[in-house]
Structure 1
Amino acid sequence: MESTTKPLRVAIAGLGAIGKSLATRLADGVVPGVILTAVSAKNHDKAKDFVKTLAYPVKVLAISELEPEADVIVECAPAELLGDIIAPFLRAKKKAIVLSVGAILFKPELIELAKTTGGTIMVPTGALIGLDAMIAAAEGEIFSVKMVTNKPPLGLKGAPHLIENNISVDGLTKPLKVFSGNAREAAKGFPANLNVVVALALAGVGPEKTHLEIWADPTVVRNTHTIIVDSDSAKFSMKMENIPSENPKTGRIVAQSVVAMLRKMLATFQVGT
């Protein structure tokens, strides 16, 4: 007897390193019950060429055309496009998986829209091990959260904070501290780099109370995050060394995290908070 359960239709907005990796995995059927139905990208010709490499054909559409084609949108695009991408899905009471989580801090109207309509904004764990521990700790009292990020200098080039403060990361021979402040300031100054700390802040004590240091570090080849948390239920620290994707600003684990989130959405047995 055939199953009458409808497949979960997924669309992807943005075909950078993460979007391409995710599209390939979903088209290969890595998550039973999930089908990729459409993608959107700035360059439609390149997107159409990419789609030809997938296991089956999917539509290449404008952002405004995605909502009728899917139950879930995965946003893998530049942060400034976040509202255009997810708002139609939220209005339709659908789910939006957001990777540009830093942009959420500056678009609170999207959170309000989800509350009003019954849509859902979901943020995958991504590079942040220990997010479950932070979420649990936040049910009590968290005293302090500090994160130190070391990135290869190339992964930080072009960040607004560096440009505005005339900070060069070229030719470094030793680590250089390029930022010290809170998560909200970091999200503004490094919009392509610091979704990790914003996810940490939203799960814990908020962006103003989550402290961050960023180092341009020529001695590392991986994006490295060290997090120290002190709370009334536990004191814990964690260190992640994430292998960059084709885009040096982004870890390879991010696409895998989205796959895991989609898998969990359909699972009858779930592990983790």
Structure 2
Amino acid sequence: MTKVSKSPQRVAVAGLGAIGIKIVEALDQGIDGLVLAAVSAQNPAKHQEFLSRLKKPPAVLPIDGLSDVADIVIECAPSKLVRSIVAPFVSRGKTAIVLSAGALLENEDLIDLAKQNGGQIVVPTGALIGLDAVTAAAEGKILSVKMVTRKPVTGLAGAPYLVENNIDIERIKEPLRIFQGTAREAAKGFPANLNVAVALSLAGLGPDRTTLEIWADPTLTRNVHRIEVESDSARFSMSIENIPSENPKTGRITALSVIAYLRKQRSALRVGT
């Protein structure tokens, strides 16, 4: 039987922080059916040495040039740039993988734009386990979803919510609950920290019915998330401790989650929803 070969999909990576660099390295080493076409960075000169060491250095383009050369874009950038990265792709029927999931709540029309043009927005599992289970439970009826996040102080410092409410966590000696509310409220107050909560809400009850507690904990070195879900098909709880990447606001597993998703695209065996 003749093997049917498909032309590789071209991938662009927007943002070369800790996550973007890991994804670029994986693509350069080779993922079946994909080719790294381009990258975008706020300061391209800063990354010139890294890019020159790759086997096949990609084109370095401004954000608005990525959709001309790629079929898929992976957003690894500050949340304020999400719209400028995602819109050109989904409006042309292409795919945008979004890590700054919280920004989708302020740009919900991007989902309609994707639907109208045959595009797709993908929010990967990221630093959270169990999204498959939540997605499955949502096919029935979910009664409640609660998440408790505990992070080292360095992973929360400078968050807008803390600044606006004059909450000083720099010198705390014991765990302090700094927020209690909905995933939507958390996304506004902690845009660099709580993309996991937004992903959870999008998989289940939505951002206004998913409740959240955030704790600053000076005794921790890892980001800890615990989720409790009550539904008509199952009651389950999940807990994960994520080792921070070079960026203390982000877990190492986030980049690995995106790489795992990319490998699934042409895999002969696909495990998970």
Q: TM-score, normalised by structure 2?
A: 0.97
Quick one: which amino acid aligns to residue 40 of structure 2? S
User: In the alignment, is residue 11 of structure 1 matched against residue 12 of structure 2?
Assistant: yes
The alpha carbon displacement at 1:53 in A equals 2.3
- Which residue matches 2:28? 27
Quick one: which amino acid aligns to residue 23 of structure 2? L
What do the CA deviations read for 1:77-131 (whole angstroms, capped 9, x no partner)?
0001001001111111011100001100110111110011110000110111111
- Which residue matches 2:224? 224
The alpha carbon displacement at 1:4 in A equals 4.0
- Which residue matches 1:41? 41
SS at match of 1:66: helix
- Which residue matches 2:177? 177
Answer whether contact 1:22 1:259 (CA < 8 A) is retained.
yes
SS at match of 2:89: helix
- Which residue matches 2:155? 155
Q: Within 2, Cα distance between the matches of 1:28 and 1:211?
A: 40
SS at match of 1:214: strand
What do the CA deviations read for 1:40-95 (whole angstroms, capped 9, x no partner)?
00002113232112222111110011111111000000001001001111111011
Q: Within 1, Cα distance between the matches of 2:45 and 2:3?
A: 38
Query: CA distance change for structure 1 residues 103 and 257 in 2, over 3 Å: closer, same or farther?
Result: same
Task: Map 1:83-98 to 2 at 5 A.
Answer: 83-98=83-98
Quick one: which amino acid aligns to residue 50 of structure 1? F
Task: Map 1:43-58 to 2 at 5 A.
Answer: 43-58=43-58
- Superposition RMSD in Å: 1.2
Q: Within 2, Cα distance between the matches of 1:43 and 1:49?
A: 12
What do the CA deviations read for 1:173-216 (whole angstroms, capped 9, x no partner)?
11011100000000000000001010000000011110000000
> Please, which moves more after superposition, 153-162 or 42-51?
42-51
SS at match of 1:249: coil
Quick one: which amino acid aligns to residue 6 of structure 1? S
Q: Within 2, Cα distance between the matches of 1:223 and 1:195?
A: 13
SS at match of 1:248: coil
Q: TM-score, normalised by structure 1?
A: 0.97
- Which residue matches 2:59? 59
Q: Within 1, Cα distance between the matches of 2:50 and 2:181?
A: 40
Q: Within 1, Cα distance between the matches of 2:230 and 2:5?
A: 48
SS at match of 1:105: helix
Task: Map 1:164-203 to 2 at 5 A.
Answer: 164-203=164-203
The alpha carbon displacement at 1:2 in A equals 9.0
SS at match of 2:106: coil
Q: Within 1, Cα distance between the matches of 2:26 and 2:138?
A: 34
Unaligned runs of 5+ in 1: none
Q: Within 2, Cα distance between the matches of 1:133 and 1:3?
A: 34
SS at match of 1:143: strand
Q: Within 2, Cα distance between the matches of 1:46 and 1:2?
A: 43
Unaligned runs of 5+ in 2: none
Q: Within 1, Cα distance between the matches of 2:149 and 2:178?
A: 10
- Which residue matches 1:256? 256
The alpha carbon displacement at 1:172 in A equals 1.6
Quick one: which amino acid aligns to residue 214 of structure 1? I
The alpha carbon displacement at 1:267 in A equals 2.1
- Which residue matches 2:127? 127
Q: How many residues align?
A: 272
Quick one: which amino acid aligns to residue 15 of structure 1? L
